[in-house]
Structure 1
Amino acid sequence: MYEVFGSVASRAFRVLWALEELGASYTLTHAKPHDPVLTAIYPAGKVPALRVGEDVITDSTAIMTYLADKHGTLIAPAGTIARAQQDAIIHAVNDELDGVLWAGARHSFILPEEQRVPAVKPSLKWEFNRNVNRLADRITTPFAAGDEFTIADILLTHCLNWAVGAKFEHDNEQMHAYAKTMRDRDAFKRVRALG
C-alpha cells in the first residue's frame, strides 16, 4: 500500500488522482509543508511525498511517473517517440504553467512579506494566458499527449484548476472545454470528494 503525504488542496491532488485512476490502494496522511509528520521522513518538508515501504519519493511529477511506470498504464512506454512527446508536454506544463502559478503564489503568500513583489502578478497573469494559448496549439489530440488519458492530463488539468483559484484567467475556449471534460472523470471526482 502507498502512503501519500499532503492534502487535496496541494500538488498531492495529482498523486491521489493518479492512484485513483490506477485503482491502487493508498492512505492519505494529511500534512502541510514542513509538518513534523512529513519532515520526519523527508527533511525538506515539501508536499507531496509518497512512501513506498521504506522509500520516499518526492515531487508530484516524479511520483506520478513512478506509479504509471510501475503499473504499466497512464504513460507511454519508455524509449518510444510517444513517451518523448508525452514528456515534452509534461515539461512544458511544468515550465510554462506550474512555474508561473508557483511564482504567483510565492509573491502572494509564500515568501516573507518583505520579499514579495505584488507588482509582478499582472505580468505573470499575462504570461500564463499566453502560455495556455501556446500549449493549446500543440494539443491536437483528445488528450494532452495523445489519444489516451495519461499523467500529462492530470498535470495539465491540475494547473488549469489551480489557475481558477489563483485568479489566473485564460481566454482559451479549447482549454476550458478540455478541463471540464477532465473534471468529469470519476477518479477526479473521488479525489475532490476527499477535500
Structure 2
Amino acid sequence: MAELSFTEEELQEIERIKAKFPTVKAATLRVLWVAQNKYGHVEPEVQSLVAETLDLPKSHVAGVASFYTQYYKEKKGKFVLDVCTCLSCQLCGGYDILHHLEEKLDIEAGETTDDGLFTVNEVECLGACGYAPMLQLTNDVYVNNLTKEKVDTLIENLKNGKKPEFESMAMPELEKRNQAASE
C-alpha cells in the first residue's frame, strides 16, 4: 500500500478540530472522520496515520475505531446501505427491504458489489422507528418509509451520481395534512 498522508488542507482542518477540545485524545473521533472521508475506511494503516498525526498511541486510535460501527475497518462500497432490521423496522418490512436489496444487487448483507459501488449491511436501531422501514446511506442521509419501488429509485439515482438530500422524517400523510392546513 502506498504511504498514506493528509493534505495541507486536511492538516489545517485537524488543527482546527484539535483546538476545539481540551485534549488531543478528545479529537480522535473527529479526526477519524476526516480520515474515513478521505480513504473511505479506517483500516489499520489509516488508524496509524491518525495516531501519528495526533501523536497518540496506535492502540488508543484502534480502540476508538473498533468501538464505533460507523467507522469502517475494511474497504466498503462507495455507497453503504445500512438497513435497519430492529423491531419497528422488522414489523414494517425491514427484512423485506434488506432481501430486496440483496436480490437487486446480487450480494448478501455484509458484502460489496463487484463494481465497488454498493455495500449492504443489516444494522440495529438507527433511531428512526416512526419512519420504518428505513436505511442510512453511508453514515449520512436517512431514507425513510421505504418501499421496494423507493429502493429501486434510490439505487438508480446513486448509480447516476444523484445522492438523496435530507429527507423529511415526517410521515407522508402528516406532510399532506400539514400542507393542506397551511393553504
Query: TM (normalized to structure 2)?
Result: 0.29
Look at both structures and tell me which one has the larger radius of gyration over its CA atoms.
2
User: Relative CO higher for 1 or 2, CA cutoff 8 Å, sep ≥ 6?
Assistant: 1
TM-score by length of 1: 0.27
> Which has the larger helix fraction?
1
